[in-house]
Amino acid sequence: MTTLAQIAAELAGYDPQALRADMVNTFLAKLVQPVTDSENIGIFQALGRVLAVDLVSPISVPAHDNSAMDGYALAGAQLSLGKPLTLRLVGTALAGKAWQGRVAAGECVKIMTGAIMPAGLDTVVPQELVSVAGDQITLAAGLLRCGDNRRRLGEDLQQGQPALLKGELLTPAALGLVASLGIQSVPVLRRLKVAYFSTGDEILSLGEAPREGAVYDSNRYTVFGLLTRLGCEVIDMGVVPDQPDLLEAAFVQAALQADAIITSGGVSVGEADYTKAMMKKLGDVTFWRIAMRPGRPMAVGQIFRDKLASSPYAASADSYHKSSIATGSAMLFGLPGNPVAVMVTFLAFVRPALLRLMGCSASAPPLLRARSSEAIRKKPGRTEYQRGIVSAAPDGSLQVQTTGQQGSGVLSSMVRANGLIVLHHAQGNVAVGDEVDVMMLSSVV
């Protein structure tokens, strides 16, 4: 068990009141204890899951040298520069059926895509490149080199080598690869359970009558979407009003049922509410002011389950969820309240941490470079995530413009954006035409 104080002590320059965005990820990486429980499941259930072991290939794929084209198989040694080649057709090799005959010099075999290369033949001429006259084919000079259009045994996967590594996310391509090995089920790490709720007396649940000064809860729906896309099992705990007993019940039940808890609201400085006090009471929690925009305040920590057993709220936690949690603590992410800040802090920090918790080896999406088609004001000394619209410039290169208004409550601009322009800590103003980093939303949501 690592405490927050231990991690803080290891990080040079750690300042919870002016924390660099990159240090947030370093900190969280040290806090996360990846899940280890695994289960064996069929391929169709495995999409989006994380592989629990290296998957060693029991066979070579392809299992034989075979043809990549419909055409004629020949011995490539007969191809000589500057001379056409005429060969006599002596048979046909079909896919799924080896052609057993022998081929002498000056002969060839008609072959279909995927058919095993007949013994002694190493090159395939596509049928559209030859002229056929009776049982003779003629190939013009200079069209083919020895070895062309032949797929080699094991060129995709070699028998005995790992085809996929532990920690890889099973994408559609990975599912196909598993199937290509003849494997029907794979060991994957268990799914994460993540509980979430919104806090604040001004937050209305859907269906509630509007009151003056109140706003409908949007964060829960955004968080639901982000978690679902990540493949987590979600536990929706609703809107929790600013009352100590209700907050305590929510935190205790969430911690007993989930690997991680995500809340929104109630973590900013000067918040006159009970959310922060309850986090502090129940867990090992720290409150950060991150040098970033949007999303400055954030709470992180862990709630230890064995300390909750005596809570009056423990009994009502769902026993199904409780029973399948093996780890001793639930991670806590207290996100700010503003809807855009919720998404940005989730994508920048929570998502990489949850991927790590899932046992996934890749946690950061690649950033693209795009030319800014406008000037952007940016102060050095904080990381900014601006909503951007990336498009192809007339010359085919990538360009990006902001969605304009960057207020952290303006969720409509998040809908319009297809990427987040990441302006790094030390970076200053951006001039028209400068290249900037962009995190494409399609890679993370």
Residues in contact with Mg ion by the rule CB under 5 A:
200, 265-266
Question: Smallest distance from the beta carbon of 241 to Mg ion, in angstroms?
Answer: 11
Q: Kindly tell me which of 265 and 301 has the beta carbon lying closer to ligand AMP.
A: 265
Question: Smallest distance from the beta carbon of 292 to ligand AMP, in angstroms?
Answer: 15
**What is residue 249's three-state secondary structure?**
helix
Say which entry of Mg ion, ligand AMP, none residue 219 contacts (CB below 5 to 8 A, set by partner kind).
Answer: ligand AMP
Q: Kindly tell me which of 299 and 441 has the beta carbon lying closer to Mg ion.
A: 299
Question: Smallest distance from the beta carbon of 378 to ligand AMP, in angstroms?
Answer: 23
CA geometry: angle at 151 spanning 147 and 153, to 5°? 110
Say which entry of ligand AMP, Mg ion, none residue 203 contacts (CB below 5 to 8 A, set by partner kind).
Answer: ligand AMP
Q: Kindly tell me which of 198 and 345 has the beta carbon lying closer to ligand AMP.
A: 198
Q: Kindly tell me which of 264 and 427 has the beta carbon lying closer to ligand AMP.
A: 264
Q: Kindly tell me which of 218 and 363 has the beta carbon lying closer to ligand AMP.
A: 218
Question: Smallest distance from the beta carbon of 388 to Mg ion, in angstroms?
Answer: 28
Say which entry of ligand AMP, Mg ion, none residue 218 contacts (CB below 5 to 8 A, set by partner kind).
Answer: ligand AMP
Q: Kindly tell me which of 174 and 344 has the beta carbon lying closer to ligand AMP.
A: 344
Question: Smallest distance from the beta carbon of 351 to ligand AMP, in angstroms?
Answer: 19
Say which entry of Mg ion, ligand AMP, none residue 301 contacts (CB below 5 to 8 A, set by partner kind).
Answer: none
Question: Smallest distance from the beta carbon of 250 to Mg ion, in angstroms?
Answer: 15
Say which entry of Mg ion, ligand AMP, none residue 268 contacts (CB below 5 to 8 A, set by partner kind).
Answer: ligand AMP
Say which entry of Mg ion, ligand AMP, none residue 232 contacts (CB below 5 to 8 A, set by partner kind).
Answer: none
Say which entry of Mg ion, ligand AMP, none residue 123 contacts (CB below 5 to 8 A, set by partner kind).
Answer: none
Between strands 435-440 and 419-423, the pairing is: antiparallel
Say which entry of ligand AMP, Mg ion, none residue 374 contacts (CB below 5 to 8 A, set by partner kind).
Answer: none
Say which entry of Mg ion, ligand AMP, none residue 338 contacts (CB below 5 to 8 A, set by partner kind).
Answer: ligand AMP
Helices of type H across 258-379: 275-282, 319-323, 339-345, 351-357
- The pair of structure tokens assigned to 215 is 């706003």
Q: Kindly tell me which of 7 and 214 has the beta carbon lying closer to ligand AMP.
A: 214
Looking at beta carbons, which residue is closest to ligand AMP? 337
Q: Kindly tell me which of 126 and 200 has the beta carbon lying closer to ligand AMP.
A: 200
Question: Smallest distance from the beta carbon of 271 to ligand AMP, in angstroms?
Answer: 6
Question: Smallest distance from the beta carbon of 441 to ligand AMP, in angstroms?
Answer: 20
- Give the integer Cα–Cα distance in Å for 298 and 306: 25
| 338 phi and psi angles, rounded to 5 deg | -60, 130
Say which entry of ligand AMP, Mg ion, none residue 264 contacts (CB below 5 to 8 A, set by partner kind).
Answer: ligand AMP
Looking at beta carbons, which residue is closest to Mg ion? 200
Of 171, 84, 72, the closest CA to residue 128 belongs to 72
Question: Smallest distance from the beta carbon of 265 to Mg ion, in angstroms?
Answer: 4
| Virtual torsion, Cα 27, 31, 36, 41, nearest 10 deg | -60
Q: Kindly tell me which of 340 and 389 has the beta carbon lying closer to ligand AMP.
A: 340
Q: Kindly tell me which of 187 and 409 has the beta carbon lying closer to ligand AMP.
A: 409
Question: Smallest distance from the beta carbon of 267 to Mg ion, in angstroms?
Answer: 8
Residues in contact with ligand AMP by the rule CB under 6 A: 198, 200, 202-203, 215, 217-219, 264-266, 268, 271, 336-339
